[in-house]
Chains A and B, each alone.
Chain A
Amino acid sequence: MEFAEAQLNNGLRIIAEVNDDAASMAAGFFVRTGGRDETPEIAGVSHFLEHMMFKGTQRRSPLDVNREFDEMGANYNAFTSEENTVYYGAVLPEFQTRLLDLLCDILRPALRQEDFDMEKNVIQEEIALYQDRPHYRVYEALMNRHFAGHPLGNSVLGSTESIAQLRRDDMQRYFDRRYSPGNVTVVGVGNLDFEAFVDKVGQMCSQWQPYDTTRELTQPGDSRRQATIADGKVTREHIGMMSPGPAAQDEARYAAELAAAIVGDQTGSRFYYALVEPAIADEAHLTYTPLDGTGAFLAFVSADTDRAPEAVRIARAELERFVENGPTDAELQAAKNKIASYATLKGELPMGRLTAVGFDWVYRHKYVPMPEQIDTLFAVTKQEVHELARSYDMTATTVLGLGPLESL
């Protein structure tokens, strides 16, 4: 593994983790923009724009874009979150330059009115699709309550109404505000030729004009409370719980990841033994979500309605016990082994390394080889994990239930 970096005169950063043993290579454009960078009038524009990126450029029609990706046999897609929009593709090494030609080109989209109008229907279908997924509805409503008044509470998809009202020119203005080269990182991983990589990106993107993009990192307020959305159309009770955690830039994220695994990994965690093993809930897990300037612990529990209040009580009690006593030595060791093993497995595939390398850079402007990250993880002490659980107070949860129950 070898790391390389370069920067164009307009501020566009190019980084790569080169692995000559890999059979494929992947490239991604990481744009530091998402739901939190929107105002209510344009709710959902980041995600809608992500779709429009595949709708063609000055020299490519929408069908050309799809066809060219598939002609390379690329594994490609894009995703939008509260704070990042990522476009990526993985191909066999021989297609490196063709992949970059296509990705660089679509990042300066035509945004044609007729394509915009057609894609609006697809976005509305996507919103409807998520309406049939209680899991997603809980996540969105929980984010909205936990980050009440903070832009991280914005819905990434937007609403049926906000999408209906959105105009092409609003999207163009948003693009002109957020897609400056300084706000974009081009990431390559796997079996790639870095010199050719930089040449191609330079040739395609040097004329992108830089401008100022800012994101104000305000701290969210304390929003702990409990609420329910009663919906008789939902069969089971789906419960989300959220509490504050360290920011993506914070070294405490290693301890946070360990705390989350000990309390709420899918298997062998405290939630597993207290809730899933005795079949009080069929699902109970907790993850740590690092964010720009802040962070959160996010738990999901789903249970039969008659056992849901008990499940919430037990989950809360487990959090209290953890904050009170911290982890055991055995728990900490198992969590370290699991996280290190998972990172290694994921790292065997270029697609698995792409997001890890990309987000390391987006949040911390730093490349840290995986063995070094694993050493840092293994150096975290029991006291540090306990201190983290206490200082961020993992019991300070916003709780949201969605399902038949009027209250939990």
Chain B
Amino acid sequence: MSEDFFIKEFPNGLTLLSQPMSAASSAALTILTPAGASHDPADAAGAASVAAEWHVRGAGDRDTRQLQDALDELGSHHSEAVQSEHMHFSSIQLGRNLADILAIYADILQRPQLTDASFQPSRELALQDLASLEDEPARKCNLLLMEKFFPYPLGRCIYGSQETLEALTADVVRRQISAHVSAANTILAVAGNVNWDELSALVERAFGDWPGQAGPTVSVTDQPAGITHIEKDTAQTHIALAHRSVPISHDQYYAARVAGTVLSGGMSGRLFTEVREKRGLVYHVSCRHQGLKDTAGMFTYAGTRPEVAQQTCDVTVNELRRLAEGVEEHELQRAKTQLKSALVMQGESTSARAAALAADWYHLGRLRSLREISKSIEQITARDVTRYAKDWPAETLTALVIGPQTISTE
């Protein structure tokens, strides 16, 4: 597998990353621009979500429909999303259509029309997304847990609240866009069927004149741990737990990933074995590492019938804490194999590679080869995992419970 990386940093602050993949006919594009939901003012929470939708409702010379049709004609599978730190655009298409797609995204980012007429439906969809959470308790549980866990406002619900969305005006969102959507600190990554010289010339032409001025940074406040219960007459009690972990740049990061895999990799992980296989308490239980740039957590979720919710929580929390007592050699080997194998399989996917390039650049300021990651995983010892689990124990938990009754995490 080819692992040639190309990097070009433009004077306006834009970074272009690329990995040509010889076997692929597709080219995947990922754009991260530092206009994520954590930048929304408190009284305008949800602005970034509305902005992401608004950006694709007409750009350059094309109105909403012409823009959409142009993407469709090029066979683009695209999405727009907002996360804590970034507004995220992705599009995957055949490599031969990449040049035309880049020209369209240059319009979307630099010349969105942002008309008053298209503002209302953009905001209305965000309101409906927020309301939809009521019918998706598992998703709501995990989203609200982020809000309670991460230093505020880094985990705040990307849709804001009904009040802030209803109060939002087109001008407020335009101000947010002009403050944060710029070439400064924007990352554009392309993986797959792509030629570097052509790509870099195209991007130079399409994005080289884009002004870049970095927006203000977010100041954050730590939040107390504890349990939040949202009473709802659901069929299952939804339990989401979080405890501190290390971000990608930390030297214990790979130990954290191995630890997470011992707990929750495949069907032989400790949580699946103890909670589901031995006790039949759940259909779904899992734990995953999720990191922002400077902070990270281990997020655990279990959905279970209310009558066994307390038992499910007890067994789950016990497994999270037991990790600090050590891991067996066979568990360690299995976890490493799983992580390395997943790496190779993701390495076949152009969209996974484009997203990984952009994430590496943001978190580390450099690109990791699959070989480097594989080697770093291989070097982790049982002692590293135990030390990680002791340094970052599941003692203080933030919990979010949706269901008829609450539970205790003690």
Contacts and interface: CB of A to CB of B under 8 A. Distances in A.
A373 interface: no
B25 A344 contact: yes
B268 A279 contact: no
A90 interface: yes
Interface of B: 1, 23-26, 57, 64-65, 68-69, 71-78, 92-94, 120-122, 124-125, 128-129, 131-132, 134-138, 233-236, 238, 265-269, 272-273, 276-284, 303-305, 333-334, 337-342, 344-345, 347-351
Interface in A253-296: 267-268, 272-273, 276-279, 281-282
A66 interface: yes
A401 B184 CA distance: 47
Given A118-B280, A268-B68, A276 B236 contact: no
Interface residues of A, number: 67
Given A129-B303, A268-B71, A337-B75, A233 B65 contact: no
Interface string A56-88: 000000110011011111111000000000000
Contacts of A73: 337-342
A267 B132 CA distance: 19
B128 A304 contact: yes
10 contacts: A66-B267, A125-B283, A236-B134, A276-B125, A277-B57, A279-B125, A334-B72, A340-B75, A345-B77, A345-B350
A267 B24 contact: no
B94 A344 contact: yes
Nearest to A160: B235
B276 A122 contact: yes
Contact of A122 (B57, B76, B233, B283): B283
B334 A70 contact: yes
B51 to A, nearest CB: 15
A273 B341 contact: no
A282 B132 contact: yes
A116 to B, nearest CB: 11
Contact of A268 (B57, B69, B342): B69
Contacts of B26: 344-345, 348
Contacts of A63: 268, 273, 277
A13 B115 CA distance: 59
Interface string A207-239: 000000000000000000000000001111010
B165 to A, nearest CB: 12
A178 to B, nearest CB: 24
Contacts of A76: 266
Contact of B305 (A22, A125, A330): A125
Contacts of B268: 63, 66-67, 69-70
Given A63-B277, A282-B128, 14 more contacts: A71-B337, A73-B339, A73-B340, A118-B280, A125-B281, A132-B138, A134-B135, A268-B69, A282-B125, A304-B131, A338-B72, A344-B94, A349-B345, A350-B348
Nearest to A402: B135
A348 B348 contact: yes
Given A22-B348, A23-B348, A345-B92, A132 B338 contact: no
A135 B139 CA distance: 14
Interface in A21-80: 21-24, 54, 62-63, 66-67, 69-76
Contact of B349 (A66, A126, A128, A349): A349
Contacts of A135: 135
Contacts of A281: 128
B72 A348 contact: no
A121 B348 contact: no
A279 B68 contact: no
Contacts of B236: 125, 128-129, 131-132
